[in-house]
Amino acid sequence: MQYLVIEGNIGAGKTTLSALLAKDFNAKLVLERFAENPFLPKFYSSPEQYSFPLELSFLADRYKQLNDELRTVSLFQPLIIADYFFMKSLIFAHNTLSGDEYNLYRQIFEIIYSSIPKPDLYVYLHLPTSKLLENIHKRGRDYEQTITSDYLDEIQKGYFDFFKQHPEYSFLVIDTSNLDFVSNHVDYLKLKSAIFDEKYTKGIHRVTF
């Protein structure tokens, strides 16, 4: 495996797990630069006004970052671990943009998407919405505190629709409801083993602990 994606809904712990695995495997770590997006706080306070510039700015930044990072593999770091996949742009845009805006956005997305390298394995960390909201509250980012359970449910539906529409990929959906891989090293090792000790064919695979 050369390219691993760790994904999940907002608050699922994807960035934390990506960093832990990258440290263990001396892998190149690619983290989404969401905190640098000037439109994000504005979007959460006024979604209708800022949804289109937000999604376009994310699209441009994700493309530039992945195009730069994935095409410069080091001999000393042959494994790349990213905490997002480019398709995330379309999943979130579908839930934030109106019909005409989304159609235009999708045209731009499709032009770019074909040139982006695809992961060897796509891991999705699944948590119930109540737990996601709890995690979001704990980490205390002001602009995230208005996120609703309905919004998280729609994002989750978008991810699972994406999985079903792309049988050519290898997806591993891990239910982490009963794990605390941040504080419990044994739980972390379980996750690590599920990801690296098995060979996954194309399609959707599920693991529950």
Cα–Cα distance, 114 to 44 (Å, whole number): 30
* C-alpha angle 23-26-32 in degrees, rounded to nearest 5: 65
Strand partners, 205: 172
- The angle, 0 to 180 degrees and rounded to 10, between the axes of the packed helices 99-113 and 47-70 is 0
* C-alpha angle 47-53-57 in degrees, rounded to nearest 5: 125
Which helix H or strand E contains 22, and what residues bound it? helix 14-25
Cα–Cα distance, 19 to 140 (Å, whole number): 20
Query: Which single residue is written with the structure tokens 């079903």?
Result: 164
Question: Going by C-beta distance under 8 Å and a sequence separation of 6 or more, which residues neighbour residue 98?
Answer: none
Q: Which two structure tokens, joined as six digits, stand for 144? A: 């995230």
Residue numbers annotated as active site = 83
